[in-house]
Structure 1
Amino acid sequence: MTTGDVVHAAVAASPIAPEEAYAAVDSPFCGAVVGFSGVVRDHDGGKGVTSLSYSAHPSAERIIREVAEEIAARHEGIRIWVAHRVGPLDIGDQALVAAVGAAHRGEAFRACSDLVDLVKEKVPIWKEQFFTDGTVEWVGAGA
């Protein structure tokens, strides 16, 4: 394998499963499969969180693919799977799942970290957080 391969890059309205991502990037070439799951937690900034809702700009699907392709171009021989949820999510739900397969663990870890950082930086997805005190806060990815 001489170039990176984007197996999957999407914005998803339905639940995403890390196991699916890991299986999709695994191959006989890969000696390492590294994954990341961004999970909805019950707190932020010292306040209790009850739920979240993600909204995406119409360009988000194209941009998440471009981000994955950029990372694949930077890291030779990797396989990438990435998806970000939109819509309402509860505590414990997967919001962002990324997986990278590579020949060696160091390359897989570096590529997965780069992928998650770039998705958070560039993909136009906004988070609406609902707090236990009844307040709401919008957080903009790519802002």
Structure 2
Amino acid sequence: MLIKLVDQIDLNEAFQYLQTPAAGGTNLFVGTVRDHAQGKQVVKLVFEAYAPMALKELEKIANQAKANWPVEKLLILHALGEKQIGEPVVVTGVASAHRNAAFEATRFLIDELKKTVPIWKKEYYLDNSVWVNAHP
């Protein structure tokens, strides 16, 4: 398992990490900064986390995925700091013998991350900014 809070996400490294001859299906979800939220134009985002608790929660989610699906390899990466439009901020990925398990486990990882991991973001708009839970 590869679970990290990082400054930058390298998608090639993430994909390379998941490579294994035992996997016939590799699924990678990439969440990026979009240019709008709450009906406003977004300029950038800033992410912060309580790292010890966030990493503990991410590991818990990863272990649940491994218990529920035949996972060969798994990764969860979340970026912290200032991020621009289009930049990747979260990646979940699973390599499994079959595609169904890879799809289902990857979806589980991102959905549970959004529900439980203490990560916050500050959305910067053209006229103001606001802190919000990154994963409502």
Q: Percent identity of the aligned residues?
A: 31
TM-score w.r.t. length of structure 2: 0.92
User: In the alignment, residue 92 of structure 1 is paired with which amino acid?
Assistant: G
Aligned positions, number: 135
Mapped partners of 2:112, 2:118: distance in 1: 11
Runs of 4+ deviating beyond 6 Å: none
CA RMSD of aligned residues (A): 1.4
- Structure 2: state its 5+ residue gaps: none
SS at match of 1:54: strand
More deviation, 24-33/67-76: 67-76
TM-score w.r.t. length of structure 1: 0.88
8 Å CA contact 2:28–2:106 kept in 1: the answer is: yes
Aligned to 2:129: 136
Aligned to 1:88: 82
- Structure 1: state its 5+ residue gaps: 1-5
The aligned runs of 1:18-33 (5 Å cut-off) are 18-33=11-26
User: In the alignment, residue 44 of structure 2 is paired with which amino acid?
Assistant: S
Mapped partners of 1:93, 1:28: distance in 2: 30
Aligned to 2:67: 73
The aligned runs of 1:79-118 (5 Å cut-off) are 79-118=73-112
- Residue of 37, 44, 50 corresponding to 2:37: 44
